[in-house]
């Protein structure tokens, strides 16, 4: 399988910042230069009366040994007032009332591995880092920072006292406890997703509740510019609610698809929460030849924003509901099929294959889609000399061949039954047990098991390894 470059993740800045802060040339390193006479992070917090609630919580969660270790750590330390507000909001009297796991994970969500000063954050402006808390898929929880007006974390917690030095790291005192964020809360925290958040609110009223649930989800989150381009001057309020809901659901995948997994897989299909023809789950195609791209149109710009119930990948384009033409044109393995459709369209009278398959209101159809290898094989079958290319074939002949690959119904693989299958061109025979199709010339085509049920708005496609021919 092809190896590709790993996506650039904003939260690798932690490593880079730690390196820069410990460089011999950096005179502003926050670590105490005489550690044997200084205080570590826990001792520094204990010496500050305004952090007594934090110290009590750290001891209650048995994290005092960890935070007294070699580190280095960056600790976002909620003040006593911040803890009081947090406890009151949740109906707890003291930190001892907080469930053990919740307390530990909440505290770890305030700890970053490495040393990040306030000037480092201001220099970066905005972005993501990761904490020691655990999010979806056992990945490190993401933390968003923004510095246009002070230093703000997850759009809720502001640094009030910065750069308190300790022997094993640095402390920034903050005015709010930073709770563990869901994917919806992550989206709400980043102003670059404000259009998405507005769209979620304008769509199905239950959509935000669903995405705030257990999950896990993978959210493909269009940035504000993507929504501006998609709307093209149309007000979001003018988009019908049902259309908007389906559009947004087409950006939600059940389960976790981190960038590392997508890169390992290379390319393939998943399903979104939108529905295609026959009320079947809509398919989505991903490829990783050049970053991660979905349906041939949307590129991931920021990957792996980890929340409690899923993962967000920011994308630069709103992913519209796909047609059969979308899947044919986005998958390079089907480029010969696209060329054949275009060639048939060039005939007289013109056969509008491309226009029909691109029309979301057409069909529904089932398309048995020959791969590039299948087209190469049939050209050799028709001319063993190898001198015939697809462009050499008469458009009328190509048209006749293509009609044997289209059924006027949406037939998923689970609905395939043995016996006669009536295509637009004529009858072929299916064997549901062997997953094969036999044409009138007794030529057998196998449906490729890993490329079935590619569901679009106007039909479904199944890839096959052999071109079906009309009776010879």
In this structure, which long-range contacts are made by residues 353-361, counting pairs with CB atoms below 8 Å and at least 24 apart in sequence?
353/402, 354/325, 357/323, 357/324, 357/325, 357/328, 357/458, 357/459, 358/323, 358/324, 358/325, 358/326, 359/323, 359/458, 360/321, 360/323, 360/457, 360/458, 361/458
**pLDDT by residue (tens digit) across 118-149?**
999 999 999 999 999 999 999 999 999 999 98
DSSP label of 232: T
pLDDT of residue 276: 95
Q: Can you say how many angstroms the Cα of residue 136 is from the centroid of all Cα atoms in its chain? A: 13
Q: Higher pLDDT residue, 79 or 36?
A: 79
**In the predicted model, what is the mean pLDDT of residues 238-265?**
94
**pLDDT by residue (tens digit) across 222-234?**
999 999 999 999 9
pTM over 0.75: yes
At residue 156, the 3 state secondary structure works out as: coil
pLDDT of residue 426: 96
pLDDT of residue 205: 66
Decide if 468 contacts 442 (C-beta within 8 A): no
pLDDT of residue 322: 97
* Residues facing 366 on adjacent strands: 407, 460
**pLDDT by residue (tens digit) across 397-432?**
999 999 999 999 999 999 999 999 999 999 999 999
pLDDT of residue 212: 86
Pairing status of strand 217-222 against strand 310-315: parallel
The structural domains of the chain, ordered by start, are 10-180 (2.30.180.10), 191-322 (2.30.180.10), 325-464 (2.30.180.10)
Q: How confident is the model at residue 347 (pLDDT cuts 50, 70, 90)?
A: confident
Decide if 343 contacts 170 (C-beta within 8 A): no
Is pLDDT above 50 for 8? Answer: no
% the chain with pLDDT above 90: 85
């Amino acid at each position: 399988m092809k190896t590709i470059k790993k996506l650039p993740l904003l939260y690798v800045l932690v490593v880079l910042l730690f390196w820069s802060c410990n460089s011999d040339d950096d005179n502003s390193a926050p670590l105490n230069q005489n550690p044997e006479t200084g205080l570590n992070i826990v001792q520094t917090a204990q010496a500050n009366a305004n952090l007594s609630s934090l110290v009590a919580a750290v001891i209650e969660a048995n994290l005092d040994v960890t935070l007294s270790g070699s580190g280095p750590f960056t600790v976002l330390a909620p003040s006593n007032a911040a803890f009081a507000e947090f406890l009151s909001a949740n109906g707890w009297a003291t930190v001892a009332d907080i469930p053990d796991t919740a307390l530990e994970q909440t505290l770890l969500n305030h700890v970053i591995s490495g040393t990040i000063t306030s000037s480092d954050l201001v220099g970066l402006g905005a972005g993501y880092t990761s904490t020691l808390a655990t999010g979806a898929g056992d990945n490190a929880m993401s933390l968003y920072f923004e510095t246009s007006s002070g230093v703000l974390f997850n759009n809720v917690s502001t640094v009030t006292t910065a750069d308190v030095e300790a022997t094993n790291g640095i402390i920034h005192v903050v005015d709010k406890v930073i709770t563990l964020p869901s994917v919806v809360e992550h989206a709400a925290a980043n102003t670059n997703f404000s259009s998405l958040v507005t769209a979620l609110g304008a769509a199905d009223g239950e959509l935000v509740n669903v995405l705030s649930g257990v999950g896990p989800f993978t959210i493909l989150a269009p940035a504000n510019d993507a929504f501006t381009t998609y709307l093209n001057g149309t007000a979001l309020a003018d988009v019908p609610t049902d259309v908007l809901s389906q559009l947004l659901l087409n950006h939600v995948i059940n389960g976790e698809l981190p960038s590392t997994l997508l890169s390992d897989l290379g390319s393939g299909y998943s399903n979104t929460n939108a529905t295609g023809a026959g009320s079947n789950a809509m398919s989505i195609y991903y490829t990783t030849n050049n970053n991660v791209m979905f349906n041939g149109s949307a590129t991931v710009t920021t990957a792996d924003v980890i929340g409690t119930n899923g993962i967000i990948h920011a994308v630069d384009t709103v992913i519209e509901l796909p047609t059969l033409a979308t899947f044919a044109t986005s998958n390079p393995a089907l480029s010969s099929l696209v060329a054949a459709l275009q060639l048939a369209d060039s005939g007289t009278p013109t056969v509008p294959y491309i226009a029909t398959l691109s029309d979301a209101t057409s069909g529904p159809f089932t398309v048995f889609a020959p791969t590039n290898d299948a087209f190469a094989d049939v050209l050799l079958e028709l001319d063993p000399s190898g001198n015939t290319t697809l462009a050499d074939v008469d458009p009328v002949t190509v048209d006749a061949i293509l009609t044997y690959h289209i059924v006027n119904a949406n037939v998923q693989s689970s609905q395939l039954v043995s016996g006669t299958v009536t295509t637009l061109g004529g009858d072929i025979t299916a064997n549901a047990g062997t997953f094969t199709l036999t044409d009138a010339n007794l030529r057998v085509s196998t449906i490729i098991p890993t490329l079935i049920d590619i569901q679009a708005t106007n039909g479904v496609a199944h890839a096959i390894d052999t071109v079906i021919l009309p009776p010879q």
